[in-house]
Amino acid sequence: MLDFIQGPLVSISIVVFILGLLFQVFQFFRLTRKKEWGNPPLPQPMKPEKKTIGQQIASWLSALNGTLWKTDPVLTVVTSVFHILLIITPLFLLGHNTLIRLSCGWSLFSLPESLSDGLTLIVLICGAYFLGRRLFLARVKAITTAYDYIMLLIAIAPFLTGFFAYHQWFDYETVILLHILTGELMLISIPFTKLGHMLFFFLYRFFIGGEYSFLRGSRSWSW
Ligand code: HEM
Ligand code: HEM
């Protein structure tokens, strides 16, 4: 069992992660249909009026109105830092790249271990902030279910166990096993849970958004 978790299950989780995301893209396009009726001609875009630099800056700033940055700047910073580090830290981690080089013969470059450790700590602090919001902020608590806590735990657990492993806290063998297991759980659950927003964020924002703006609006989103 231990050999399976540390060996084949690592490859299986990576394959499930990649094929699962491809499957979701396929489903996304399969479940939407090409429109059969012709589109009315789109209105011609109006010529943009010339703006002074001041007006241009004011218009850029006004684009922030109604965004998360205006309503909750702290959350904007925390979520941006969290997401950037969530991806960068494991990719450029010496421990991971050593294992990847051993099995594939190549790897990405690695950040100094103390830096990776600091970035891991920042991810954990961001995770604690998300947890705090869900536990103590009435308007967030009201819409939080057990599922949200489980997903947050799945996202954070590899960082917590990786942090413990690096500092050799508790029994190393057990902690590194838990780390590998939670890492695999995270990879496998991304395509099939709300963590799939990693993919759907871009499809919804840019594809569907584009369908209603600069693209041709050629697909139908309802049956
Ligand atoms: C799937 C298989 C995985 C394996 C085999 C694995 C293996 C390892 C190993 C060997 C270390 C070094 C521990 C040490 O220094 O003693 C490590 C650290 C770490 N891993 Fe993973 N890992 C996996 C998945 C993940 C995932 C999915 C994430 C996060 C998305 C992750 C995040 C981390 C972090 C942040 C550390 C370093 C913590 C620190 O330096 O403070 N790992 N991992
Ligand atoms: C790379 C593309 C990704 C984008 C564009 C993205 C975007 C977002 C957005 C817009 C939110 C909602 C705002 C917020 O509460 O912060 C969010 C929340 C969240 N994301 Fe991502 N995300 C991505 C990848 C991931 C990945 C790979 C994971 C973990 C595996 C993840 C874990 C989370 C979690 C746990 C939350 C909710 C935090 C809470 O409990 O409030 N995200 N993401």
Centre of ligand 1 to C-alpha 202, Å, is 27
Q: To test the ligand 1 pocket, which listed residue (179, 182, 189, 198) has its Cβ within 8 A of the most ligand atoms?
A: 179
In a domain, 41, yes or no: no
In a domain, 39, yes or no: no
How far apart (Å, rounded) are the C-alpha atoms in residues 33 and 114? 50
pTM value > 0.75:
yes
In a domain, 136, yes or no: yes
Largest CA distance in the chain: 68
Model confidence band, residue 223 (pLDDT cutoffs 50, 70, 90) = very low
In a domain, 54, yes or no: no
In a domain, 63, yes or no: no
Cβ 212 vs Cβ 219: under 8 Å: no
Instruction: Choose between 215 and 24: higher pLDDT.
Output: 24
Q: Check whether 37 has a pLDDT greater than 60.
A: no
Task: Specify the residue with its C-alpha closest to ligand 1, atom 35.
Answer: 159
| Cβ 90 under 6 angstroms from ligand 1 | yes
- List the domain range (segments joined by +) for residue 187: 2-17+71-215
In a domain, 48, yes or no: no
Q: Check whether 42 has a pLDDT greater than 80.
A: no
Model confidence band, residue 90 (pLDDT cutoffs 50, 70, 90) = very high
Q: Per-residue pLDDT tens for 63-89?
A: 877 788 888 899 999 999 999 999 999
In a domain, 202, yes or no: yes
**DSSP conformational letter for 192:** G
Q: Per-residue pLDDT tens for 141-182?
A: 999 999 999 999 999 999 999 999 999 999 999 999 999 999
Instruction: Report H helices in 50-171.
Output: 53-62, 68-71, 73-91, 94-104, 113-136, 138-141, 146-166
pLDDT, average across residues 46-61: 82
Instruction: Please list, in sequence order, all residues whose beta carbon lies within 8 angstroms of the beta carbon of residue 107, skipping any fewer than 6 positions away.
Output: 96, 97, 98, 100, 101
pLDDT, average across residues 20-27: 94
In a domain, 133, yes or no: yes
Based on the structure, what is the number of domains in the chain?
A: 1
